[in-house]
Amino acid sequence: MLLSKLQSRLDATLPDGYIEAVSVPGYQAINLALINGDFPIGPLPNAVMNAVIKDPAYWTFFWGSGIALALPTSIRLYPRNLHFRRCAV
């Protein structure tokens, strides 16, 4: 999805927010579309809060889940980065 489309969707719920493309640490080829890092963390106006609850733009807030979603692509694109590595769950 283009950043302009993501921004339009964000504008519908958080008009004071904007989308930033942020590189995943250690995987500079992968960018996540996140809400601006300096987005106010105080209380939201009631209308904005209701819009967020109705249709949350959760993808803009969660860096960890974005990395988790990005890593399978990274593994597929750069399998040599995992050569001789083990993963324990």
pLDDT value of residue 63: 58
pLDDT tens digits along 46-85: 998 898 888 776 655 565 666 666 666 666 666 676 555 5
Q: Where do runs of H (alpha helix) occur along 1-89?
A: 3-13, 46-54, 63-77
In 3-state terms, what secondary structure has residue 24? strand
Lowest mean pLDDT among 12-21, 44-53, 80-89: 80-89
Q: Nearest to residue 74, comparing CAs of 20, 24, 1, 34? A: 24
Contact 40, 22 (CB under 8 A): no
Q: Which two tokens stand for residue 30?
A: 């992968």
Report yes or no on whether pTM surpasses 0.75: no
Show me where the domains of the chain are located.
Answer: 3-82
Residue 25 per-residue DSSP state: T
